[in-house]
Structure 1
């Protein structure tokens, strides 16, 4: 048997983190078994489905590298098939028309809840033999005896009595099929062997299994993966930060890092944290998927992204930084300008955006100094060390070949002070912050003229701040 999985999002918004994790699990399971990974867009909710949302799904999956097989399927193209199956169930007395009003159903629900009963349709129209009209919906005749048992690949064996399942609506009054009906037909027609989805669908599964059987379809296997929670234990939502996959792209994360992090939300392989895509394909199994919900941890994502950035091709990072700077400050920098700065700052950056922001201190004229640092380092006593460094810098004949660390060391020795008395104001003068790369490396990147200019600028700033 060829394993066939599918990811079937509704195009009513962006590709969110939970959906991306489900798509990843579908992708890995199919690839692990040498099978097919299909993409289906469930766009029968015409009021909420948009082209922009469809594109957002494509963009998110392309960015993550989740390549699907075959052409994308759209539910909206399959309406004739749904109507064909609807007629089949009606003809075989496995479905019926229902004209119960909204008011009746609300009253029924209220009465059942008052009695402490589970709200469910009472089958009022089941045997009335109603015919189609503008107000009738179609309900499935769920079996009233027996039970439904299926082996969930994550949760184990699940059994539900048919008495707990009511006659669900399978077509609205306008003829549009409902989710539970259309998804069964699509999965059967596409030959889906494994339905992998969030565990919020567990309650739908027994109903869908009964529909598979009523339509004469083979029943696939099911795997319901746990939901993703925020750091506070609540279900992940916008208030927890970025939940759109493409927001992480905009925030400067690498797709392979996000992919690596997503798979660890519920799946593990020993103590290993970093996986290549091929390793994930080779190792993935639902036996290693946890049943409990997973908590999204931004600090952990940052740690993983930092690891990937250290191993990334410097030229790739430079290209990403150039794109970021063009968006944020509308400035064009060449890859040649940015390459030396990548190695200079990437050790201290968790994201491409942080890397770009750090580079700006060397790419643009300084307009301000870190307030906390300048109060400590830019005192009147710093003027002499800075002036001495300027003097030594001017004396350098070949800047590229000079030992620039020795320039600072010579001033330290001349003044007979600790290195920090010279190094801290010099770094702040050159970089605008007190911490960063080695001073001689910063000087080398800035060049002789800009180094002297920034030192003189700092001297003037201190003199203005501390007039005699």
Structure 2
């Protein structure tokens, strides 16, 4: 059987790095097993789901290097869900309930006051046809609950019913169905909640492995029961820990916190995002991998911790810097051209500055410094200014190469007695306007003698 996974977000916002973690876990697992990756949009909430958000999610996945084998929309499969509902009704496993939200909340409080678990008491199973008709006459429309298999004869007499599975990430897991309320599968307006379409789709699309966040662990017991009620064997489940900020704050599509789109717009490299999203909170060291194939070699879902994975967004800068420093000119030539960095100087320029960049876009600043002169950022003091002016008297003749800087500074050191920081820093500020930056031995050949002299204080 071909390993088949799915990533099934609701298209109600742009995905964030936590959502990307789930997508990457699925993609990497499928890659390891030469399997299939299905992109499935849970867009049954028509009020908040939009095609624009779905397109944005696909763009974000493509940017990360994830290219689904197929794309499915739940909004186009309602006939399939309708048929499953009728099967469940016919078998007596889906029953109508007429309580309002307020009535359900009151029942919950009453059970809590009696020190009983706040689960639904299945009162709707005792309604007569006359009572149902009376509710209908009042204008009430039923919501439909799935009858969990947590009893022997009388549904009102539940008993502990453990559902076991071997979790791909967490190991052996158990959920007691008697501790849960019968889940609502169909709302009063006839629309579906998450559970039914998800299970029906997993069956129809032959999903072999469901890998998702550990906030779904309890749902899994219900879904396994629903798989079996529909005559199907459940897939293998895996529940990874969730990403949070360093303060423990969760992420949300609706707020846009750490969205993939915002990280991309901030100039981060996709493999910096993918490496952190995959490896954080696992036994593996978080290192910047060059591509998803290399990341798949390190990926082990069972090595993921059960605790939430806290990360500092600044960690992305560290990974990004390492990736940028390793990039060849061929890797970035097109992007540099888009920033106006072109010509025969472009490649030596990139090789000179890349070791000082955090983002590829930072190169634009240094291109302006090389081409147009120093930034008026750091100023020279009177003594350093006089020293720098004198130092330019010893500037060697052309041709300039990477040995010119040492030849020049050796001459200045001998003539002035300055050395170390007192020697190099004033010259750096004079040439670039900044107190730190790329190796000047690499920049001088780009400036040439005329361009260097033009920067004399």
**TM bin (shorter chain):** 0.7 to 0.9
**2:156 matched to which residue of 1?**
none
**1:426 matched to which residue of 2?**
427
**2:74 matched to which residue of 1?**
75
Measured after TM superposition, the shift of residue 182 of structure 1 is 1.0
Is the aligned partner of 1:137 residue 2:152?
no
Kept in 2, the 8 Å contact 1:8–1:41? The answer is yes
* Deviations, residues 113-141 of structure 1 (Å, cap 9, x unaligned): 44454332221212325477762221112
**2:158 matched to which residue of 1?**
none
Is the aligned partner of 1:104 residue 2:75?
no
Deviates more, 1:395-404 or 1:286-295: 395-404
- Residue 30 of structure 2 aligns to a residue in which SS? helix
Determine the C-alpha separation between the residues in 2 that align with 1:416 and 1:452.
22
- Residue 415 of structure 2 aligns to a residue in which SS? helix
Kept in 2, the 8 Å contact 1:396–1:402? The answer is no
- Pick the aligned partner of 2:261 from 246, 254, 259: 246
- Residue 72 of structure 1 aligns to a residue in which SS? strand
Is the aligned partner of 1:295 residue 2:295?
no
- Residue 125 of structure 2 aligns to a residue in which SS? coil
**1:257 matched to which residue of 2?**
272
Determine the C-alpha separation between the residues in 2 that align with 1:3 and 1:338.
46
Measured after TM superposition, the shift of residue 54 of structure 1 is 0.8
Deviates more, 1:198-207 or 1:104-113: 104-113
Is the aligned partner of 1:339 residue 2:347?
yes
Cα gap change, 1:334/1:355 in structure 2, threshold over 3 Å: closer, same or farther? closer
Cα gap change, 1:257/1:409 in structure 2, threshold over 3 Å: closer, same or farther? same
**2:386 matched to which residue of 1?**
384
Is the aligned partner of 1:449 residue 2:455?
no
- Residue 30 of structure 1 aligns to a residue in which SS? helix
Spell out the pairing of 1:195-214 with structure 2 (5 A cutoff): 195-214=210-229
- Residue 119 of structure 1 aligns to a residue in which SS? coil
TM-score under structure 1 length normalisation: 0.85
Kept in 2, the 8 Å contact 1:38–1:72? The answer is yes
Spell out the pairing of 1:50-449 with structure 2 (5 A cutoff): 50-69=50-69, 71-128=70-127, 129=129, 130=132, 135-145=141-151, 146-236=161-251, 243-269=258-284, 273-275=287-289, 276-323=291-338, 325=339, 332-334=340-342, 336-370=344-378, 374=379, 378-393=380-395, 396=397, 398-399=399-400, 403-418=404-419, 420-449=421-450
Measured after TM superposition, the shift of residue 390 of structure 1 is 3.5
Kept in 1, the 8 Å contact 2:43–2:73? The answer is yes
- Residue 237 of structure 2 aligns to a residue in which SS? strand
Determine the C-alpha separation between the residues in 2 that align with 1:154 and 1:398.
62
Determine the C-alpha separation between the residues in 1 that align with 2:10 and 2:46.
10
Measured after TM superposition, the shift of residue 401 of structure 1 is 9.5
Cα gap change, 1:175/1:333 in structure 2, threshold over 3 Å: closer, same or farther? same
Determine the C-alpha separation between the residues in 1 that align with 2:327 and 2:11.
33
Determine the C-alpha separation between the residues in 1 that align with 2:362 and 2:213.
33
Kept in 1, the 8 Å contact 2:16–2:251? The answer is no
Measured after TM superposition, the shift of residue 208 of structure 1 is 1.1
Kept in 2, the 8 Å contact 1:405–1:439? The answer is no
5+ long unaligned stretches in structure 1: 326-331, 460-468
Cα gap change, 1:119/1:337 in structure 2, threshold over 3 Å: closer, same or farther? farther
Cα gap change, 1:313/1:449 in structure 2, threshold over 3 Å: closer, same or farther? same
* Deviations, residues 267-307 of structure 1 (Å, cap 9, x unaligned): 345x6845453343345433322222212133443333232
**1:328 matched to which residue of 2?**
none
Cα gap change, 1:210/1:420 in structure 2, threshold over 3 Å: closer, same or farther? closer
Determine the C-alpha separation between the residues in 1 that align with 2:343 and 2:111.
68
Determine the C-alpha separation between the residues in 2 that align with 1:262 and 1:427.
38
Deviates more, 1:260-269 or 1:30-39: 260-269
Deviates more, 1:407-416 or 1:246-255: 407-416
* Deviations, residues 340-367 of structure 1 (Å, cap 9, x unaligned): 2222222122322444444443244445
- Residue 126 of structure 1 aligns to a residue in which SS? helix
- Residue 182 of structure 1 aligns to a residue in which SS? helix
Kept in 1, the 8 Å contact 2:12–2:53? The answer is yes
Aligned length: 440
Measured after TM superposition, the shift of residue 81 of structure 1 is 0.8
Cα gap change, 1:351/1:197 in structure 2, threshold over 3 Å: closer, same or farther? same
Kept in 2, the 8 Å contact 1:267–1:289? The answer is yes
Q: For the aligned residues, what is the CA RMSD? A: 2.8
* Deviations, residues 158-193 of structure 1 (Å, cap 9, x unaligned): 222322122211111221111011111011110001
Q: Which has the higher contact order (CA 8 A, sep 6+)?
A: 2
Measured after TM superposition, the shift of residue 58 of structure 1 is 0.7
Cα gap change, 1:336/1:241 in structure 2, threshold over 3 Å: closer, same or farther? farther
Deviates more, 1:72-81 or 1:232-241: 232-241
Determine the C-alpha separation between the residues in 1 that align with 2:243 and 2:115.
31
5+ long unaligned stretches in structure 2: 152-160
Determine the C-alpha separation between the residues in 2 that align with 1:333 and 1:280.
31
Determine the C-alpha separation between the residues in 2 that align with 1:116 and 1:106.
15
